[in-house]
Structure 1
Amino acid sequence: MDFDPLPDKPAPDNPSGKLVLLRHGETEWSRAGKHTGLTDVPLTPHGEELARNAGPLLSGYDFVLELCSPLERARRTAELAGLHPEIDPLLVEWDYGGYEGRTTKEIRKELGYNWTPFTHGVIRGENSPGETVEEVAGRASRVLTRVLPAMAEGDVAIVAHGHLLRILTSVFLRMAPRFGAALTLDAGSISVLAFYREEPAILTWNHGPGLPLKPSES
């Protein structure tokens, strides 16, 4: 295992704060189902609308820490949602290597089987080596070691990407990183994690601002 899971015990003082996850709004690539890792693709007008409409859903929280991926689609989502986060490079999306910009359908046709990144991984690309799911989980674990103490003081917001947030949630729940394959996360959606009776739990998952949206790959 290439990452250090969170300890199998409550976080310090069993923090009462909530961890609010906001996936960035729609991009042209996400709308087309293309795997969008480190490519800096901007939001579509619909993506910006999703981000604005996410803002009111965040208004009831008392954020003591706000973190965001450095990629433009996440930063713009945070801005439009009314957040003022600190940039954390660990929150970038999965490096898909040679599968960057390609759809699941295209990859499966080439390989001849029902490929998924969680089960089969990615290949090295010309410009990036790609990451294993365990490497992404390692980054997520490092983020959570900072987030959990802050949750003892109040709520925490993270604005990032579909696969990264699904894996981060798996680590938070003390599950294997590949558990993220069982979680869906639409563009512009909000999810809430917390401790319930001393155990990490999902309070709300994939809650959107009520606009029509086609699910996408990343």
Structure 2
Amino acid sequence: MADKDSATPRVFLFRHGETEWTKSGQYTGRTDISLTPHGAKQVKATGRMVVGRGKLIDPDKLGLVFCSPRIRAQTTFKLAVGDDEVHKLSAAGKVDITEKIAEWNYGAYEGLLTHEIRMLRAAHGLDSDRPWDIWRDGCEEGESAKDVTQRLDDLISRIHELQKDNMHGEKNCDVALFAHGHILRAFVKRWLKYPLEFRLSMMLEPGGVGVLSYQHQNVEEPAVLVGIGFPLSE
């Protein structure tokens, strides 16, 4: 990144660590499931490397933190940032626990595996001409791609409003999101102004971190500043 762009505000994506359902591949939306011991280690290791003063995610430079209400996301936030910094950010009004960045509501597919979802949809007479694709078809009794797009666009508008007048480091306004696999991938698509059904090859592993920013210090030109990272091991 050019020196002139070094103060451009960023958005950090931090996916929660491993859970028993991420291990099994079960779709985990509204179910409140805790991190596994390994998941906690993933988050702590990543946090030690990238969170802290002078590091990639500097608490002093955060303007807002958006965290999913699910316990696995809130635990990840606390383990990665540390209790003292979480308290300081909360006291300063910089923490928003919000459904805007909660995982996709899978509805009838909660707790199922992909092949089980496709069997269920076939039994309901769906997808006779093409396989189920969550980005296009959404979830029965849950959210559609349109629903997810709307709530993410609302969140992105709020982030743009915070950052638009601070493209040259006028004040600290980095943003961090602590959330989940599907919703963070959807966030990247909407940040780049793609429809959710757009094929964008990317994956954020449990405990992994990604970074988004802007091209040419302009909120109308969003960019992936740093590629999606992988969780660090102990």
Give the TM-score band, short-chain normalised.
0.7 to 0.9
CA distance in 2, matches of 1:94, 1:30: 14
**Corresponding residue of 2:201:** 182
Native 8 Å contact 1:104 1:116 kept in 2:
no
Contact 1:35 1:100 in 2 (8 A): yes
Find 1:37's aligned residue among 29, 44, 59.
29
**Whole-angstrom CA distance in 2 between matches of 1:181 and 1:35:** 20
Equivalent residue number for residue 162 of structure 1: 181
Q: 2:3 — aligned with what?
A: none
The CA distance in 1 between the partners of 2:148 and 2:135, in whole Å, is: 11
Match of 2:228 in 1: 206
Structure 2 residue runs without a partner (length 5+): 1-6, 87-94, 123-129
| Residue 91 of structure 2: aligned partner | none
With the length of structure 1 as denominator, give the TM-score of the two structures: 0.81
Q: Report the structure, 1 or 2, having the larger helix content.
A: 2
Equivalent in 115, 140, 145 of residue 133 of structure 1: 145
Does the residue aligned with 1:182 lie in a helix, a strand or coil?
A: coil
Structure 2 letter corresponding to 1:115: W
Compute the displacement of 1:160 (Å): 0.8
**Given the alignment of the two structures, is residue 106 of structure 1 paired with residue 116 of structure 2, yes or no?**
yes
Aligned-residue offset at 1:174: 1.1
TM-score (norm 2): 0.76
Q: CA RMSD in A?
A: 2.1
Q: Is the 8 A contact 1:99 1:122 kept in 2?
A: yes
Q: Where does the alignment leave 5 or more consecutive residues of structure 1 unmatched?
A: 1-14, 125-129, 213-218
Give the superposition deviation at 1:46.
1.0
The percent of aligned pairs where both chains have the same amino acid is 35
Cα distance in 2 for residues equivalent to 1:180 and 1:163: 14
- In structure 1, distance between residues paired with 2:231 and 2:198: 25
The amino acid of 1:141's aligned partner reads: D
Aligned equivalent of 2:41, options 40, 43, 49: 49
- For residues 192 and 98 of structure 1, the distance between their equivalents in structure 2, rounded to whole angstroms, comes to 32
CA contact (8 A) 2:15 2:180 kept: yes
Q: Work out the number of aligned pairs and report it.
A: 193
Point out the structure with max Rg over C-alpha.
Answer: 2
